Amino acid sequence: MKAIIKPSRAHGKFCAPPSKSFAHRIMICAALSGGKSKISNLAESQDILATADCISALGALFEKTENGAEITGFVKNTDAAPVFPCRESGSTLRFFIPIACALFDSSVFSGSQRLIERGIGIYEDIFNNVGIKIEKNSDSIAFKGRLSAGEYAVCGNVSSQFISGLMFALPLLSGDSKITVLPPVESKPYIDITLSVLRDFGIEISETAENSYFIEGNQRYIPKDAKVEGDWSNAAPFFALNALGADIEIGGLSENSLQGDKIVTEYISALKKPHPAIDLSFCPDLAPVLFSLSAALSGGEFTGTARLKIKESDRAAAMKEELFKFGINAEISENRVIIPNRTLLPPKEPISSHNDHRIVMANAILLTLTGGVIDGIEAVNKSFPDFFEALASLGVDISYEN
């Protein structure tokens, strides 16, 4: 589907949607507990639905409520080799793999071709050392063998989701374990979110030294009612709109949040100054919208961009391609992106989504200045299905065609 956006100045009130980062973790902890947990403020994005499907595959009960869900952990045994349908959700895949390997002798994970292509190299290296066999094809990954307690060294500059996945699983095992995160450690705030949610559900993991975690075995998850806080990542485009002249009152966010993407307000302030230089190592999900904003302002230099290749799209390359349609010729290298100071032009051809929700949202912001068409807008269903409805409610002129 295409959205046709006319130049518009947004104004009004916007309430941030629920945080996907917190929601995934809360749902998983509830599913691993021994009772019923009530979760409120839960959005029905594709990633959240993928986690709900995997909770059911695990053997827990997931029941939708008016504003969230009730999850009852471990109410029945599943088949000998359960199938975990992850759709396109990388976090769902990476969180559940160690859990499945801790609880089942065999398991299968299915998903889109792009999800499988994004890879699980960290787990392949780890599991090879503990005797877990892995078989991959274009749309699934099969595991055979059990995860064991022990010492695990994990690279810290690929994805924190591998570390979080182990943190969910290792407390379930009979022996004690240790995770050492090898520097450089990026996306540390996401590890902190995992530790916080685990603690809320009764799991204690102690950081015995910097980036070294001790995990006692035979722990039990305790059911808990929880409310998902607002999402700084999906609020970022609306902060960007304000930087471009909109007048939006943004609510629903916690100033004390552990979410690393709350730094977006500092980075937007930096982009308003001459020659901004921004490190995205701790907040890669902000990259597309910050690239767009810098293109509309006076450019910028971004480092810590290497991991953008393993997102839903190769985000640096995708943004270079789309910004070129606005007359902006970005420069990309292995771990750096430079957005030049150029005049933003109306695109003469449709903007492509690259099937990536953050690419859609980032470019939609620019189209409120120039006008234009963006194709494949259904990609926002992955994390923020109501994104265009939110824009329209703020006065942005949007029409649609198939």
The span from the CA of 186 to the CA of 213, in Å, is 16
Q: If DSSP codes are grouped into helix, strand and coil, which group holds residue 144?
A: strand
Asked whether the beta carbons of 367 and 374 are under 8 A apart, the reply is yes
CA neighbor of 97 nearest in space, from 14, 196, 164, 160: 164
Secondary structure in 3-state letters for 209-220: ECCEEEECCCCC
Q: Rounded to 5, what percent of the chain is helix, strand, coil?
A: 40, 25, 35
The span from the CA of 152 to the CA of 129, in Å, is 10
Cα dihedral 343, 347, 348, 351 sign: positive
The span from the CA of 252 to the CA of 165, in Å, is 28
C-alpha angle with apex 312: 212 to 90, nearest 5 degrees?
Answer: 45
Concatenated DSSP letters of 155-189: ESSS-HHHHHHHHHHGGGSSS-EEEEEESS---HH
E-strand ranges in 216-341 read: 226-227, 247-251, 277-279, 300-303, 331-333, 336-339
C-alpha angle with apex 243: 237 to 248, nearest 5 degrees?
Answer: 70
The span from the CA of 388 to the CA of 40, in Å, is 23
Quote the distance between the C-alpha of residue 18 and its chain's center: 12
Asked whether the beta carbons of 199 and 189 are under 8 A apart, the reply is no
The span from the CA of 364 to the CA of 382, in Å, is 16
Identify the helix (H) or strand (E) that includes residue 236.
helix 232-243
* The one-letter amino acid at 265: T
Q: Which residue among 225, 285, 375, 386 is the active-site one?
A: 285
Determine whether 285 is an active site residue: yes
* The one-letter amino acid at 380: V
Please give the positions annotated as active site. Answer: 285
